[in-house]
Structure 1
Amino acid sequence: MLKQSLIATAVALLAAACTLQPKYERPAAPVTSTFPEGGVYANQPDASSTASNGRTANGQTAPDIGWRDFFADARLQRIVELALKNNRDLRVSVLNVEASRAQYQITRAALFPAIDASASQSKQRTPKNLSFFGQTISNQYSVGLNASWEIDFFGRIRSLKDQALAQYLATAEARKAAELSLVSSVADQYLTMLAFDDLLTVTRNTLKTSEESYRITQLQYDNGVGSELDVRQAEGIVEQARANLQTEMRFRAQAENALVLLVGEPLPDDLPPGMPLDNQNVLSDIPAGLPSDLLTRRPDIAAAEQTLLAANANIGAARAAFFPRVTLTGGFGTLSPTLGGLFKPGSAAWSFAPQISVPIFEGGANVANLDLAQVQKRIEIANYEKTIQNAFREVADGLAARGTFDDQIKALERFVSSQSRRLDLSDLRYRNGVDSYLAVLTAQTDLYDAQQLLINARLQRLTNLVDLYQFLGGGWIERSGDQPRPADAPVDYGSTPPAAPAAGASAPAASAAAGAPRASVPKLTPVEQLPRKGAAPQAEATARTSAPG
């Protein structure tokens, strides 16, 4: 009865105990309340944009648009799917989440009593002149249970547990950011490969045209109606085109190698047919929303805030180090000088040893630890604010580019058309003896340069739309309308469903990480389960200490 009363009292004291964490308040976003407007930002594309060819987002935000719906190219969709299954960097990110989950469970386990079963035998010889009744050999056998428990009166362990939980959630959000970045990187590299395909086509056509011009000028020179200067100029254009062809073939091969590295395996032969660069039809009218929306859409911002919450919890642990620590240890079992007497009546033995330790002199270590924890929190506040500023800048840059590329593409298309017509006219004037062959070569070179500028502008427009999709938080779900996965959910689409939430969970860990900080710590009971593999510690993720005591 006495032992049960002591345990009940300890549990009641633990439940009533407070933590010494400072009240968490989310820092104000160090950016303006709206994205820039007017000027280059005013002419944003809509469903009629040439980039999407009639496809529209219908007002859906980036996180609500699945990457299969954002990309229209079936070949690209298949490559993205393969990358999500095989990319090694993403695997490392997932394993980092597993490691953080294990570390959280290790820290959380300190809240519970540690109980061990033990059995021992000891044999001892005593000199005959010191022994009783001439017994120089003595034996002792014991079997029992040993228990120890630190009563967390001042929340030191709970603060460490909250710190580990926040670090776990930060790692999960970092994994989510890595997946979004992978989708964007694969698409960018695929589009780059298509751009080199177009450049190769243009270069081969230019080489074919220049070889024909060289053949004609050489023939004219051989017949005495042309000059050697014209021949050498034509020959120079041919060799330059051949060199450019080899350069672009090399870049095309290297672009495919980079894509294979991102995918994590060689590209299979049964990929579906792809679309050309100028017909990719990616969504171009995704609304940007407000900068404050980025706090819930961007996993890198959510990760930075979780790291800040971890630093805030660490202050509570540093403060608790100034206060006494109470530990209960005890044991219950049987004790006997013979093995056969272990379980006979009267062999029961127990011990109970409460201990309290009060810090008196630590050489300034506790004060320094508290100062360090407070400085680390200020560092994480600055990192959190910088992450928001960087996200704002990325979206603003993407909007500025999106507002200018359509008109730039149209102007370059007209420029290519004018240079093509100029080449025809220059060639006609040369054949009629009005201009020198230098005019033809100059027009040919200018047309080639204009075609390259057009291809590069198309590539930049598409990669900007892909990157803006990522910057706005898109790429986490596969299809529009899918339920967003928790940040630590499996990646293998179509084969591994997201793991079920832990017992008592009410919201996914990703929602807890991206939303407001938790308001209270749930009561710990013996029936509470540890988080299962593949699921976040959700009962803990939905509540967090917000004020001391």
Structure 2
Amino acid sequence: MSNNRGTKTLTSLTALAASLVLSGCISMGPANERPEAAIEKSFGEQTEVSHAEFTLEAWQQFFPDANARIMIEEALKSNTDLRIAIARMAELEGRYQIQRENRFPAIGGEVNQVRSQNSINVQGNDNIVDVYNAKVGLVSYELDLFGRVNSLSDAALAQYLSSAEATRSVKLSVIAQTANAYYSWVSAKRSLNLAEQTLTSRKDSLDLIQKRLDTGIASELDLAQAEASFATVSAQKARFERAHAAAKSALELLIGKPLSTVPFNKEQLRIAEMALELPESISSEVLLSRPDVLSAEQSLYAANANIGAARAAFFPSITLTGDYGYSSTEFDSLFESNSNSWSFMPSIRIPIFNNGLQANLDIAKAQQQRLIAEYEKAVQQAFSEVYQLMSNRTTYDSELEANRSLVKAQAKRLQLAEAKYKAGLASYLEVLNAQQDKFSSEQALLETERAQLANVISLYKALGGGDKVVNYTAEGKLETGVETGESPEETSKPNDD
């Protein structure tokens, strides 16, 4: 009968704890609401495209150049900042799982032996006594009457989600940085090739002037001008060699290995014709999907939960500890009916004089105000960045068209200048000026093409990138039927099982 009474007591204790788990649903923290940022409603003046209607391609689709994708893959494998972010995300996921478990009763079992010697002054003898115990019990479970434990769990979850978005932000930065570094290297190589071709042309011109001088057709001034032009291009070629080496070093730093060890197609080094197709007007709410903005938002929600936990700490807390099992001085009789034992130890903590509780609440409120300001700053910076990059798009298009026309005009001018010089109607100085201006216009065109591409990549990053997952075949072709539409929220939340 004693055994039944003990079992009923433990059952009642467990039922009480389970019924009060739901009491943790209460929250004393502020409601999670996005602060309103002082920005325009949309980018552009026409009817805006809503946030829900706006999507971007996955980066594997966005970059059509197989070489660029190879470089990005290498960078994602080796980038230390990304590895740090991933490790921190895993750490915060573990902390959330630990904090989450505090919301539920923990049941533990224990089997032990205690050997002790009696005190003669207390027991009247100094016998050595063995006591065997086998118990199952409730381990110090706090009844979350005011939502303190639940708020701490919510804060841990928000911190994890913030780290997940921060990791996504680092990954997107690595993708953009690597793509820009690769195309900077390609552009530097193109500029160096142009300088080498121009230097060869200048050498041919110098040899021609020397022959004309030997036959009395050209003058010493023509030769001196040709030599000066050759030296000028030689100096420019040296600068392009340094720029090429620096670009190569920057790319190798990002991918974490020498370019000579990367299996890419060296015959396909070109500036990609890459465009970001966007509507004329986009709702500024698209910025809310940027990983840095989402990370700031989740950090704010963690601060709100911490306020709830700090407020709940002002109220009494009840902790339950109990166990049920068997105790005996003989191991052979440990599990007999007359060996059962149980204990139930509820405790209540009532804060009376504790200035630290108010200080903790003040800290939590101050953190919340700081994070509100940081969230607003993140949104405003995002808007400014996207606005500037979108404004650059049309100007780069106009600049490219003008530079292409300039290169054609300078090529025609050089052709006419050379014809006039050969006919004796112009000095060689006119030819040299035309040569130098053509070379400068060609370099300007290369720089504009590179700048436009950098603007496209930066805009892709500024708009939050794409979250689809796609695969490519060994030939670099997109496989069909492999796209997934998982959102960051679906993939980043830890498993609660």
Question: Structure 1 residues 438, 351: closer, same or farther in 2, change over 3 A?
Answer: same
Match of 1:34 in 2: 42
- More deviation in 136-145 or 378-387? 136-145
Question: Structure 1 residues 288, 116: closer, same or farther in 2, change over 3 A?
Answer: farther
TM-score for the superposition, normalised by structure 1: 0.78
Matched, 1:271 2:264: yes
**Equivalent residues of 1:66, 1:475 under 8 A apart:** yes
Give CA-to-partner distance per residue, 1:35-60, whole Å, 9 cap, x none: 2449xxxxxxxxxxxxxxxxxxxxx9
Q: Identify the match of residue 384 of structure 1 among 345, 357, 375.
A: 375
Match of 2:490 in 1: 508
Question: Structure 1 residues 288, 336: closer, same or farther in 2, change over 3 A?
Answer: farther
Q: Identify the match of residue 149 of structure 1 among 141, 145, 149.
A: 141
For residues 99 and 167 of structure 1, the distance between their equivalents in structure 2, rounded to whole angstroms, comes to 11
Alignment of structure 1 residues 350-369 onto 2, 5 Å: 350-362=342-354, 364-369=355-360
**Equivalent residues of 1:29, 1:292 under 8 A apart:** no
**Equivalent residues of 2:147, 2:308 under 8 A apart:** yes
Give how far 1:466 is off.
Answer: 1.8
How many residue pairs align between the two structures? 474
SS state at 2:338 partner: coil
Give how far 1:231 is off.
Answer: 3.4
Match of 1:20 in 2: 28
SS state at 1:24 partner: coil
SS state at 2:315 partner: coil
Alignment of structure 1 residues 68-79 onto 2, 5 Å: 68-79=60-71
Question: Structure 1 residues 463, 203: closer, same or farther in 2, change over 3 A?
Answer: same
Matched, 1:114 2:106: yes
**Equivalent residues of 2:467, 2:487 under 8 A apart:** no
Match of 1:413 in 2: 404
- One-letter code of the match for 1:307? S
For residues 236 and 98 of structure 2, the distance between their equivalents in structure 1, rounded to whole angstroms, comes to 60
Give CA-to-partner distance per residue, 1:321-353, whole Å, 9 cap, x none: 111111001122222234444333422222111
- More deviation in 206-215 or 116-125? 116-125
For residues 38 and 491 of structure 2, the distance between their equivalents in structure 1, rounded to whole angstroms, comes to 26
For residues 538 and 456 of structure 1, the distance between their equivalents in structure 2, rounded to whole angstroms, comes to 52
Q: Identify the match of residue 456 of structure 1 among 447, 472, 491.
A: 447
Task: State the superposition RMSD in angstroms.
Answer: 3.0
Match of 2:485 in 1: 484
Structure in which a larger fraction of residues adopt helix = 2
Matched, 1:306 2:298: yes
Give how far 1:150 is off.
Answer: 0.7
**Equivalent residues of 1:71, 1:283 under 8 A apart:** no
Give how far 1:225 is off.
Answer: 5.7
Give CA-to-partner distance per residue, 1:70-123, whole Å, 9 cap, x none: 233233234334444454433333222211111110111111223333333333
Give CA-to-partner distance per residue, 1:450-499, whole Å, 9 cap, x none: 11111000111111112212222223324498223453xxxxxxxxxxxx
Match of 2:15 in 1: 8
Q: Identify the match of residue 242 of structure 2 among 250, 254, 265.
A: 250
For residues 328 and 385 of structure 1, the distance between their equivalents in structure 2, rounded to whole angstroms, comes to 43
Match of 2:475 in 1: none
Q: Identify the match of residue 215 of structure 1 among 207, 213, 220.
A: 207
Gap runs ≥5 in structure 2: 1-7, 47-51, 471-479
Alignment of structure 1 residues 140-539 onto 2, 5 Å: 140-146=131-137, 147-221=139-213, 226-267=218-259, 270-272=263-265, 275=268, 277=270, 280-287=272-279, 289-362=281-354, 364-479=355-470, 482-487=483-488, 508=490, 536-537=494-495
Give CA-to-partner distance per residue, 1:257-283, whole Å, 9 cap, x none: 3333333445556535765645x2313
Question: Structure 1 residues 71, 127: closer, same or farther in 2, change over 3 A?
Answer: closer
Question: Structure 1 residues 81, 386: closer, same or farther in 2, change over 3 A?
Answer: same
For residues 16 and 311 of structure 1, the distance between their equivalents in structure 2, rounded to whole angstroms, comes to 22
- One-letter code of the match for 1:396? Y
- More deviation in 348-357 or 231-240? 231-240
**Equivalent residues of 1:75, 1:271 under 8 A apart:** yes
SS state at 1:111 partner: coil
Question: Structure 1 residues 377, 188: closer, same or farther in 2, change over 3 A?
Answer: same
SS state at 2:336 partner: coil
SS state at 1:477 partner: coil
Gap runs ≥5 in structure 1: 39-59, 488-506, 511-534, 540-549
**Equivalent residues of 2:10, 2:323 under 8 A apart:** no
Give how far 1:224 is off.
Answer: 5.9
- One-letter code of the match for 2:95? Q
- One-letter code of the match for 2:454? T
TM-score for the superposition, normalised by structure 2: 0.86
Give how far 1:20 is off.
Answer: 0.6
- More deviation in 223-232 or 68-77? 223-232
For residues 357 and 538 of structure 1, the distance between their equivalents in structure 2, rounded to whole angstroms, comes to 30
SS state at 2:43 partner: coil
**Equivalent residues of 2:43, 2:284 under 8 A apart:** no
- More deviation in 141-150 or 398-407? 141-150
**Equivalent residues of 2:23, 2:146 under 8 A apart:** no
For residues 32 and 97 of structure 1, the distance between their equivalents in structure 2, rounded to whole angstroms, comes to 33
Give CA-to-partner distance per residue, 1:421-469, whole Å, 9 cap, x none: 2333333444455544333333322222111111000111111112212
For residues 423 and 171 of structure 1, the distance between their equivalents in structure 2, rounded to whole angstroms, comes to 59
- One-letter code of the match for 2:155? Q
Give how far 1:211 is off.
Answer: 1.3
- One-letter code of the match for 1:344? E
Question: Structure 1 residues 474, 128: closer, same or farther in 2, change over 3 A?
Answer: closer
SS state at 1:63 partner: coil
Match of 1:65 in 2: 57
For residues 436 and 339 of structure 2, the distance between their equivalents in structure 1, rounded to whole angstroms, comes to 103
Give how far 1:172 is off.
Answer: 1.1
For residues 235 and 358 of structure 1, the distance between their equivalents in structure 2, rounded to whole angstroms, comes to 93
Give how far 1:375 is off.
Answer: 1.3
For residues 166 and 411 of structure 1, the distance between their equivalents in structure 2, rounded to whole angstroms, comes to 51
